[in-house]
Amino acid sequence: MVHRPVRHALALALVLIAALSALRRGPRSFSPIPEPPAAPPPALVVDPNTASLGALESLPGIGPTLARRIIEGRSRRGYERIDDLRRVRGIGERTLSRLRPRLRIGARSEVAQEAHADGHRDEVRHEVTAHEGERVGPLE
């Protein structure tokens, strides 16, 4: 049997060996696993014939003035093709190329208008288009 002082010495030696080996390896730093970047929200796709002022202003390069001009243009003639937006003062080819991926003209997106006896025209209904541009239905 090993005497008590020898057992204490062996235990102390084992503790020292363990401590020295831990110091030799250095501190371990654990870096958190980075979270994957959140997917950007899907870009809003709008129909210039039915979009609200706010939706138009959310488009790249469109501020309040151009948004109002787009709405004025649609109340006069509407837009049958995306290229018709070039009629709007301030929208050139460069702006239109930035807007093109975010615009859809619905299959039946012309603004239905009705002439009144006093000569004023009021918008009666709009077609609502979904994200991909398919027709969802009329607003009543």
CATH 3.90.1010.10 fits 53-113+125-133, yes or no: no
Q: Which residues pair with 123 in a beta bridge?
A: 113
Q: Which residues pair with 135 in a beta bridge?
A: 129
Give CA–CA dist 98/96, Å, rounded: 5
Task: List the chain domain ranges.
Answer: 53-113+125-133
Give CA–CA dist 91/99, Å, rounded: 10
Rounded to two decimals, the pTM is 0.49
Tracing tokens 């809003």 back to the chain, one arrives at 44
Check the CA dihedral 118-119-120-121 and report its sign. positive
Task: Give the pLDDT of the chain (140 residues) as one tens digit per residue.
Answer: 557 888 888 888 877 787 777 766 666 666 778 888 777 666 779 999 999 999 999 999 999 999 999 999 999 999 999 999 999 999 999 999 999 999 999 843 333 333 333 344 434 333 444 444 444 444 43
